[in-house]
Amino acid sequence: MKSIAEIKDEFVQADDAKLSALFEEYANDGRAGVVGLIAQYQRKLEKLATERARLDAMRRYEREYAHCGLVCGIDEAGRGPLAGPVVAGAVILPEDCEILYLNDSKQLSEKRREALFDEIKEKAIAWGIGMASPARIDEINILQATYEAMRQAVSALDPAPQLLLNDAVKIPGITLPQVPIIKGDAKSLSIAAASVLAKVTRDRLMREYDALMPEYGFAAHKGYGSEAHIEALKKYGPSPIHRRSFIGNFV
């Protein structure tokens, strides 16, 4: 008879299809350790099935517009902060692409976003990043700067998309068909992927700025108007990456 440790190794190394066979093989093994293993991995498969159903629901818009050709999701990060750029992401995913736990970037931990960032880039047909600097935001306003960053992200895609799924907005200056989706980063897989790319890119930049200007605490608040950030702004004055058009109430 195999030891429980040996059986555990089989479960650890098994793929989804093999697990079902293992459940059947050890169904009559009454040892508590084996019974526990079976229960543990059955729960794992149930959670995986639930996650895959959620992801399938998030492919609704990609399926609906698949007849148009390559469908691209667009989203941005950083419209609200007092400092730093606004960053846009654009992603074209393959049909039925599986990226487990992909969701609106705001619903994910930093660790999960970082892991998904690499997986999205690896699995995407194409991806692009665009950004507008704080000076550009002050020059043309945050909405126009966001559109500019989005156009940059789309222009970086190779191959080019045939249709855009946007998180809530319609981007001027683009002739492609566009579908604005309210809260699209929670409803569309490709918009969610774009939101992760934009968020992680921007957060990494803010950590780099923190290393250069640690007195502002950019690594912690990413430029948003936290109490600590506003106190630092009042104490040290604006940095080169602060948005002058955003900070008039504080300095």
- Give the pLDDT of residue 125: 98
Q: Quote the longest CA-to-CA distance of the chain.
A: 75
Query: Which part of the chain is CATH 3.30.420.10?
Result: 67-209
User: Quick one: fold of 67-209?
Assistant: Nucleotidyltransferase; domain 5 (3.30.420)
Instruction: Please list, in sequence order, all residues whose beta carbon lies within 8 angstroms of the beta carbon of residue 44, skipping any fewer than 6 positions away.
Output: none
Q: Alpha helices, DSSP H only, in 59-123?
A: 60-64, 110-123
Instruction: Please list, in sequence order, all residues whose beta carbon lies within 8 angstroms of the beta carbon of residue 181, skipping any fewer than 6 positions away.
Output: 61, 165, 166, 167, 168, 187, 188, 191
CA 155 to each of CA 27, 89, 126, 226: distance values in angstroms, whole numbers, following the listed order = 56, 11, 11, 34
Kind of pairing between the strands at 86-92 and 126-132? antiparallel
Question: Tokens 């506003």 identify what position?
Answer: 230
Three-state SS for 65? coil
Supply the DSSP symbol for 15: -
Q: What is the pLDDT of residues 50-90, one digit of tens each?
A: 999 999 999 999 999 999 999 999 999 999 999 999 999 99
User: What mean pLDDT do residues 143-164 have?
Assistant: 98
Examine the pLDDT at 15 and tell me if it is beyond 90: no
Can you spell out the DSSP letters for 21-54? Answer: HHHHHTTT---HHHHHHHHHHHHHHHHHHHHHHH
Q: The whole model's pTM is what?
A: 0.91
Examine the pLDDT at 117 and tell me if it is beyond 90: yes
